[in-house]
Structure 1
Amino acid sequence: MSPSQAWFEAIAALDTDIVQQLLPTCAKLVDDHGETGLMKAVRLRSLTLIKLLAPYEIGMINNRGQTALMIAAHFNYAEGCKMLLSDESDIHLPSKRCCLIVAAAACAEEAVRAILPMHRYTTDSLGATALVYAAERGHLGVVKILLEGESVTPAPDALRALIVAVLCDKRETASYLARYMAKFITVTQSQQTETYFPLSKPCADVTTTAHAAQESINMLQGQCLDESGANINQLLLSSESRVVDSPQVLSPIPVSPQPVLRPNQSITQPFIFNSKAKQTVGSDALNISVRSHKQITSNMSLLPRAMDSIAVLTSSHVRPASKGIKLMGPIRATSTRTRPVPRVIDEYESPSSSVTVTDTRQTVDPPGLSPPTLRNRSLVQDRRYKELTFSLPVGHRQEYNLDMSANSFSISCLPGLTALMTAVITGQSHLISHFARTDTGSKTIEGWTALMFAVLYNKLESFQTLVATEAGIQNNNGETALMIAASYNRTSAIIDLLHKESRIQDRNGKTALIHAVEKGNYEAARMLSDNEHSMVDFSGHTAFLYACDNGHEKIAQLLVGLEGNKTDATGQTGLMIAAEKNHVGILKILIPLQIRRKNNAGITALMLAGYRGHMASVSLLLTAEAREVNENGATALMIATMAGNIDVCKALVASEHGLQNLIGQTALMLAAAENHQQLVTLLIPYESTIQDCEGRTALMYAAESQCISAVEALLPHEHGLRDNNGCTAMMYAARAGSLPIVMLLARYEQRLTDNGGLLCINLLIKGSTGPQSRNTCDL
């Protein structure tokens, strides 16, 4: 037993005495997964071993980049976390996730409590904190723990956590976060009424502060569930969004947002952010009255108000829209590394993004701002409609890689979203032309434009306005709006973009046609095929090869006439790719066109199907491609034998038995060397006694590889045969040090000599060096 085996076995057995003996020589040894003894002690929850091993192995990481502290956090081992926290808390995963994020993502509540004094606001490479990860997975207990000390001012990551919880349909968590945020929203009502109503009719009731804070909220529709709730105030974000269930991807923007419904009522209610500090309200702010004869419902969603208010508090730049309301007191700003530094916002009015606001104050129009300033703007006021809307602020600067091969886009587009993009996403088409004058051409941190969002969300009301100014722009991954349209089969958008963005390639060299083919979008592929056929990505694959790889039979039929003769950089044809993936329908289309073709290594489609064990594909290809060999002379039977595919070998043996590769090996020899007993039994009647270029038999291969089962099967058929040097199978077994095989063969070959006249025993005495060879000589 090797020292490392003894070391890890002692740890697994919790044998502290042996561990202490081996500690000077075996400390810092790792297993195949890169795990140390300390990590295994954490998994075993052994405080004694942790104390013993920590001074030697603290700070080491495994193949996944995990430390012992992260393992303890993941498995909710609070005691282990406390012991390791001081030494390993500063080590993060490659994705920048800290130990607290690991614990929060795993719903390890005790570990979260143990770690929480540190890393509360530490973010990963996406700018997500532990609270956001807990919200994404619906770990309500962890969310409550993380927010325990955030009762005076709102946590700066609460907004993003709320949005992520809504998008992931984590209802209990989202409801809790909404109630948490609602505590910091105060509604002030008018203290005066004007004489627009008849004296016999009292003014409509306005929601009181206490009632507004206690309203129950439907997190999926964004409306109150009060019994008298007739006012539907739909949330800007839909429950149909999908977020990739991966700890490295968070998606605060939904994939398919529902249209925003605006109420018809005209309501006069300015909303004041309640920071639990003293607030000064101007006299003009109180002099606001209801100017409508319509009945005004008191049931209004708190969630859009919370989003509006918190959006300003998490932005890096605040431009007040009104002088009528003042906020005083510490307000937290977003931080990517440490606890936020308090700052003061002198003047601010928080609008509601989903109700029309009318007041008696003079409208303050924002001056013309340059696009860079607009990207940081938090509030925008439209002078024509006197409606207040919001643009989500620039938050954490993050690195993001868009994976177009996933089932859905996973975009984190909150950083850098402009007013124009917000209008596009929320369906406010009447504002698009207004904001397009200043925001057109602006990008998010990931390089997304308003045109791309219009395609993604299928908001085509003002599409031509955006196409004229933003067509041809690529995001950070090189995708254009046309590629996004192709991925989501947006045929109307493709028509408008086709002649402006066709034949553009992304960072991987993929065209819009390739994106459409990857997603299986036939209509999009048909529309793009005339303009983009025969283009290849940077790995040498055409759209046709992608169709063969993904099994899109209808698209392959469409493209075979345009790209059927193309191969990738290794010479692979569509037939080979389909055979390896067992796409039978595509094989039937391509067999008449691409049969008997080979890639750069001489591999045929039959060889690939045989290696993968795809019997359906082998049956279709057998007649046409049997007895073909690759650059090493190997047949499909030999390749299937090395893979151990017994059913494929049974189908091929009649056509390809007896063939030898460039060094004379048969399928039987390869099966014997790999100890595939069933295959050896199958091939013995066809290929026994055949010798390779050096005179070796299948029995010699089995003896040299110490495959005793294969030796027993081959012994009656091949004993006594010699290679070109006169050596027997017994001599091969003796050189390999296999005593059981030597004893098995001694009955037949112990008196046979090689070309030099030496017996097996003479060879062993002359060349024995190890204990196994000496034991063999004792025979």
Structure 2
Amino acid sequence: NGQVDAVAALVEARANVSAASATGKTALMYAGHNGHLCVVTFLLESRADVEVSDDIGMTPLMYGARNGALGITGALITAGANLAVEDATGRTALMHATQNGHLAVAQRLAVAATSTKLLGTRTMTVLLRASKEGDSAAVEALVKSHADVHARAANGITALMYACQVGSLPVIRTLLGAGVQVDATEKMGMTALMYAAQAGHAAATRVLCKARAKVGIRDMLARTAAVHAAQNGHVAVLHALVTARAHIDAIDTTGRTALSWAAQMGHTAAIEALLDANADLSVADVTGATAVVYAARFGHAQAEAVLRKWETVDQTVLDLLTKDRSGRQRRKRSQKSGHRPTLKHGSQKSGPRLKRRKRSTC
């Protein structure tokens, strides 16, 4: 209830300042939750545990941040509270502040997180966690506080990659505006564009392409963003990549193309999109298998039918082109040799004969 005198009397009587209730809540958590700054200050002076968490993973700092208590948040930060601790849902104190609209508290936490360069669990910075959650307000606050936008998780994933995974356009635009490396790669060679393509975020793909992300970069298996999109059947992403002039017939380490992967997975719409973009049906992998073979092998009858139909059309066009090319080549050879083509008897009309004028006898 915020009765600091009563709390002081209990502490003087040697009460445990870090004692917890049945749900794991301490006096410091209750004071922070209810906004009692004087009680929080007294408990901190009495060396109450600032790192303790309750049954749902909430810390005193999270309770203060969630309720917008700026003074309490500042006092807990000064006392050394860990800003990067996550509750049972994976949220930090900063996320609790932003998700409840307490921007002043969020800014205070962002400044503290940046100045201490504090790492959270799984060696993830606060900015990385906020980007992964798509928390645009938290990311914006951290960027304004000069957080390291180039920080990486243990596997090399950047904040931009996390944002592309969840397709958060506000976070992506904030990070791009802060000067992140759009073509940075993680340990497996994946880029932010590949993560967006893999997850099917077409709008994010277009934003990255507009920011001049390279569509031809390959991961460790030599797979491009187009291959990742085709594997997962993301037609809108394929359209965006084709518009950005992606090479859709690029082959990976096994000699396979985006069309081959789409055929294996039975993504008929993706197959049609690639064929509309003039994907090469004849490309075979290292085993000699084409896209049609993969569609048949994995039992995708509809995909196989589409591919065979296009094969027929392609063969017809090829025959016509071959016939036309042969005719043109014959005519060129005739012209070079100086001979006219032989015509059938009676097929050439003779020109008008001129009458010979009689010589005058005068």
Matched AA of 1:502? A
Match of 2:174 in 1: 620
Distance 2:269 2:72 in 1: 57
- How many Å separate the matches in 2 of 1:479 and 1:572? 26
Output the CA distance in 2 between the equivalents of 1:699 and 1:477.
55
Contact kept, 8 Å, 2:50 with 2:76, in 1: the verdict is: no
Matches within 5 A, 1:443-592: 457-459=1-3, 462-469=6-13, 470-475=15-20, 476-508=22-54, 511-534=59-82, 537=85, 545-548=92-95, 550-551=97-98, 552-564=102-114, 565-591=117-143, 592=146
Q: Match for 2:226 among 656, 661, 668?
A: 668
* C-alpha distance in structure 1 between counterparts of 2:260 and 2:31, whole Å: 62
Determine helix, strand or coil for the equivalent of 1:580.
helix
Alignment partners' CA distance in 1, 2:48 and 2:106: 20
Give the number of the structure whose residues are more often helix, by fraction. Answer: 2
SS in 1 for 2:279: helix
The sequence identity of aligned pairs, in percent, is 25
Amino acid in structure 2 at the alignment position of 1:678: A
Deviation at 1:643, TM superposition (A): 1.7
Q: What is the CA-CA distance between 1:561 and the residue it aligns to?
A: 4.9
Checking the alignment, whether the CA contact within 8 Å between 2:85 and 2:121 is kept in structure 1 is no
Q: Please report how far the alpha carbon of residue 519 of structure 1 lies from its aligned counterpart in structure 2 after TM superposition.
A: 3.3
After superposition, the Cα gap between the structure-2 partners of 1:490 and 1:521, relative to the gap in structure 1 and judged at 3 Å, is same
How far residue 745 of structure 1 moved from its aligned partner, in angstroms, is 2.7
1:463 CA displacement: 4.4
CA deviation after TM superposition for structure 1 residue 531, in Å: 1.7
**Residue 741 of structure 1: how far off its partner (Å):** 2.9
Q: Unpaired segments of 5 or more residues in structure 2?
A: 313-362
Could you say if the C-alpha distance between residues 521 and 730 of structure 1 is closer, same or farther in structure 2, counting changes exceeding 3 Å? same
Distance across 2 between alignment mates of 1:690 and 1:536 = 42
What are the superposed Cα offsets for residues 681-700 of structure 1, whole Å, 9 maximum, x if unpaired? 22233131111111101110
The aligned runs of 1:230-379 (5 Å cut-off) are none
- Residues 536, 742 of structure 1: alpha-carbon distance in 2 compared, 3 angstrom cutoff: closer
Q: 2:236 & 2:121 partners in 1: Cα distance? A: 37
Instruction: Give the residue type in structure 1 aligned to 2:219.
Output: N
Following superposition, the deviation at residue 474 of structure 1 comes to 0.9
CA distance in 2 between partners of 1:459 and 1:559 (Å): 27
Q: Partners in 1 of 2:303 and 2:29 — Cα distance?
A: 64
1:687 aligns to what SS in structure 2?
A: coil
Q: 1:479, 1:625 → 2: CA distance?
A: 43
Report how far residue 659 of structure 1 moved. Answer: 1.2
User: TM-score, structure 1 length as denominator?
Assistant: 0.35
Q: Is the 1:482–1:512 contact (alpha carbons within 8 Å) kept by the matching residues of 2?
A: yes
What is aligned with 1:703? 263
Alpha-carbon distance in structure 1 between the residues aligned to 2:261 and 2:270:
9
Cα distance in 1 between the residues matched to 2:207 and 2:155: 24
Q: Which amino acid aligns with 1:652?
A: L
CA distance in structure 2 between the partners assigned to 1:525 and 1:665 by the alignment: 47
Shift of residue 535, structure 1, vs aligned partner:
7.4
- How far apart in 2 are the matches of 1:743 and 1:660? 30
User: Per chain length, whose mean CA-contact separation is higher, i.e. which structure has more relative contact order (CA < 8 Å, sep 6+)?
Assistant: 2
Task: Give distance in 2, aligned partners of 1:747 and 1:504.
Answer: 68
Matched, 1:630 2:172: no
Tell me if structure 2 keeps the 8 A contact 1:601–1:631: yes
- 8 Å contact kept, 2:131–2:139: yes
1:477 is displaced (CA, Å) by: 4.1
1:54-82 per-residue CA deviation (whole Å, 9 max, x = no partner) reads xxxxxxxxxxxxxxxxxxxxxxxxxxxxx
**2-side partners of 1:586 and 1:709: how far apart?**
38
Confirm whether residue 643 of structure 1 aligns to residue 191 of structure 2.
Answer: no
Task: Flag as ranges the 4+ runs of structure 1 deviating above 4 A.
Answer: 459-463, 507-511, 534-543, 747-750
8 Å CA contact 2:268, 2:306 repeated in 1: no
Q: Deviations over 1:651-675 (max 9, x none)?
A: 1124131111111111111221222
For residue 161 of structure 2, what is the aligned residue in structure 1?
607
- Counterpart Cα distance in 2 of 1:562 and 1:643: 33
Give the TM-score of the pair, scaled to structure 2.
0.71
CA separation of 1:678 and 1:697: change in aligned 2, threshold 3 A: same
User: 1:462 Cα deviation (Å)?
Assistant: 4.2
Residues 728-751 of structure 1: CA deviation (Å, up to 9, x unaligned): 11111121122333333335658x
SS of the residue 1:679 aligns to: helix
For residues 278-319 of structure 1, give each alpha carbon's deviation from its aligned partner in whole angstroms, at most 9, with x where no partner exists. xxxxxxxxxxxxxxxxxxxxxxxxxxxxxxxxxxxxxxxxxx
- Of residues 270, 287, 296, the one that matches 1:734 is 296
Aligned to 1:655, the other structure's residue is in SS state: coil
Q: 1:713 aligns with which of 273, 297, 314?
A: 273
Distance 1:550 1:660, change over 3 A: farther
Distance 2:50 2:32 in 1: 13
RMSD of Structure 2 on Structure 1 (CA): 3.0
Change (3 A) 1:681 1:458: same
**1:538 to partner: Cα distance:** 8.4
